[in-house]
Amino acid sequence: MTFQIKLTLLFTLLIAVLIGGLFYEFDTTVESYLRNTAIKNFHAIVETSEGAYFAFADKIKTRTLDWSSDGAIRAATGNILSLPEGEEHAAAVNNLARYLREEKLKHDPSISIIDILDKNGIVVVSSRADRIGIDEKKEEEKFHAHRFSEAIASPLFREVFVTNVVYEPDEGMEPMIHAVTRIFSAVKDAQGNLVPMDAVMLLHFTNIDELGNILSGQQQIEQGALSGRVLFEYLKTADIYMVNKDNLIITPSRFVGDALLKLRVNTYPVKACLEEGREIAGEYTNYRGIRVFGASMCLVRDHTVLIAEVQADEILAPIKAFRSKLALASILIALAGALGVSLLSRFFLRNLKPIALAVNEVALGNASVRAKIKGHDEIAQVGLVFNQMLDAIEKTGRELQDAQTKLTSINTDLEQRVKERTGELEQLKAGLEQTVMERTQEMKEKMEELEKFKKLTVGRELKMIELKKEIEMLKNK
């Protein structure tokens, strides 16, 4: 792999790392911005929806107060409470019931039943005859369907107690909202306050769809507004719904059919509100198991949670779509960068290849080659120095060759002289060896003569000793 390719790959890798880092930083920043913006927007939306819900609840209260303040109803209720059981009492009950059915219900289709309860919670008058005699106090204790006990004990005029959506089969097949208020007579006490009766009015509202329409914006359109469902038209997965204290959804679900008072919701915002009394705004998993951005409002008075949310995928869809484009752009930039680096490296390293070729030739033994250098940059300077080095090497080679030739001549002369001297020495050696051999032979002969002489001398001495001994013996005789 050539240096140019390595350099191109290195800078391409650096460009890719830089682009990848910028891509990651941009992606993280934009995703965080979209997430935080969505959460803030839905926090504002849920606050607005909270106001819409309270306006809806106030409408129910206003209707309840309006009807409970009806002079005919107040007078008839007081009369019924004062009459003993009998025909007159029954006639009064029938008259009031007819009035409720014919003069009241027709003015508000959202109300299905009107009940008058005595102090014990027994239905004494109703727009539905089959409800007379029902013990609503037991219903309250068993199902918490309404707030009769609070209403009958309230000394305040114009105080209404609303219960969020409930479902009671004996009252009808539709979910209802119950509103209870104490009935006051037209008589005032010494302090100028209206005197309360031992009776309450219980209204059964079935306008649950209206609440859903208010939260979705459909109600505004029905009232003549040019827009109202912008949120749901712009965000296809947005949803606004309410959950009661039993963790049941009490408004129509946009995505789950027939969910009213059947779908149990036990998500993070519901737990935070019902268990900790805390409102949230953030990311969590909704009742469909989908990650969403949303916010909640705790309606403490009604023991209800109001939630507005949207699927995280829809909010982050723009960045996901942009990621593909950005990835393609990054690849194109990286390729363009690689091409640019390749061209630049080719330009800046144009003198490096001739140097490399020259080095290879020199390695093969051709010291006469020279690198063809262009320009005056650093690499050109290196090439120039390389050529100068080759010149110096070539010059030194010639000098070495001359010296080698001279040395060879000197060696030849020395070898001849050594050969001559060696011949002379060999002749001298041969002469010396002959002389030594002759001298050795002479010495050998003389040694033999000396040995003979020694033997003769020793023999003579022995004979002399014997003669001395004989002479000595003769003397002794």
Query: Is residue 148 over pLDDT 90?
Result: yes
pLDDT (tens digit per residue) in 43-67: 999 999 999 999 999 999 999 999 9
- Reference 42, options 294, 215, 373, 378; nearest CA is 294
Residue 231 has pLDDT above 80, yes or no: yes
At residue 23, the pLDDT reads: 78
Higher model confidence: residue 96 or residue 436?
A: 96
* pLDDT one-digit tens code per residue, 248-257: 999 988 899 8
Cα torsion 319, 320, 322, 328: sign: positive
For residue 426, what pLDDT is reported? 85
Q: How confident is the model at residue 142 (pLDDT cuts 50, 70, 90)?
A: confident
Enclosing H/E stretch for 372: none
pLDDT at position 223 is 66
Report the first-to-last Cα separation within the chain, whole angstroms.
Answer: 130
Q: For residue 133, which of 116, 149, 145 has the smallest C-alpha distance? A: 116
Does residue 260 surpass a pLDDT of 90?
A: no
The CA-CA-CA angle for residues 58, 162, 258, to 5°, reads 100
Q: What is the pLDDT of residue 227?
A: 61
pLDDT over 70 for what percent of the chain?
90
Q: Would you state the pLDDT for residue 454?
A: 77
Burial of 27 (0-12, 13-18, 19+ CB in 10 A): middle
Tokens 């014919």: give the residue.
Answer: 102
Residue that wins the pLDDT comparison between 465 and 375: 465
- Nearest CA to 380 out of 425, 410, 402, 349 is that of 349
DSSP, collapsed to helix, strand or coil, labels residue 4 as helix
Residue 226 has what pLDDT? 59
Structure tokens given for 385:
């120095």
Residue 196 scores a pLDDT above 70? yes
The mean pLDDT of 16-38, rounded to a whole number, is 86
Burial label for 306, CB within 10 Å (0-12, 13-18, 19+), is buried
DSSP structural state of residue 88: H
> Looking at 227-231, 234-238, 254-258, which range is the least confident one?
227-231
Question: Which residues, at least 6 apart from 283, have a Cβ–Cβ distance to it below 8 Å?
Answer: 35, 39, 291, 292, 293, 312
Residue 269 phi, psi dihedral angles, 5° rounding: -65, -35
The whole-number pLDDT of residue 470 equals 80
Q: How far is CA 398 from CA 350, 393, 412, in A?
A: 32, 9, 21
Rounded Cα–Cα distance for residues 235 and 231 (Å)? 6
Is the per-residue pLDDT at 297 higher than 90? Answer: yes
* Residues 228/213, Cβ–Cβ less than 8 Å: no
Output DSSP code: residue 173.
S
pLDDT grade for 348, boundaries at 50, 70 and 90: low
pTM of the predicted model as reported, rounded to 2 decimal places: 0.67
Q: Is pLDDT above 80 for 246?
A: yes
Confidence of residue 456 (pLDDT cuts 50, 70, 90): confident
pLDDT in tens, 98-139: 999 999 999 999 999 999 999 999 999 999 999 999 999 998
Q: What is the pLDDT of residues 204-225, one digit of tens each?
A: 999 888 888 888 877 677 666 6
| Token pair recorded at residue 27 | 């992606």
Average pLDDT over residues 470-476: 80
371-384, pLDDT tens digit by residue? 677 766 766 777 67
Q: What is the mean pLDDT of the chain?
A: 86
Lowest model confidence (mean pLDDT) among 83-97, 263-277, 324-338: 324-338
Cβ within 8 Å of residue 282, ≥6 positions away: 39, 293, 294, 295
Q: Tokens for 360?
A: 């290879």
Say which DSSP state 225 is in: -
**What are 242's strand-pairing partners?**
306
- pLDDT recorded at residue 273: 96
- Of the candidates 316, 264, 260, the residue with the CA atom closest to the CA atom of residue 286: 264
Task: Tell me what pLDDT residue 171 has.
Answer: 65
Question: Radius of gyration (Cα) for the chain, nearest Å?
Answer: 63
Which residues contact residue 156 at a Cβ distance below 8 angstroms, ignoring those fewer than 6 apart? Answer: none
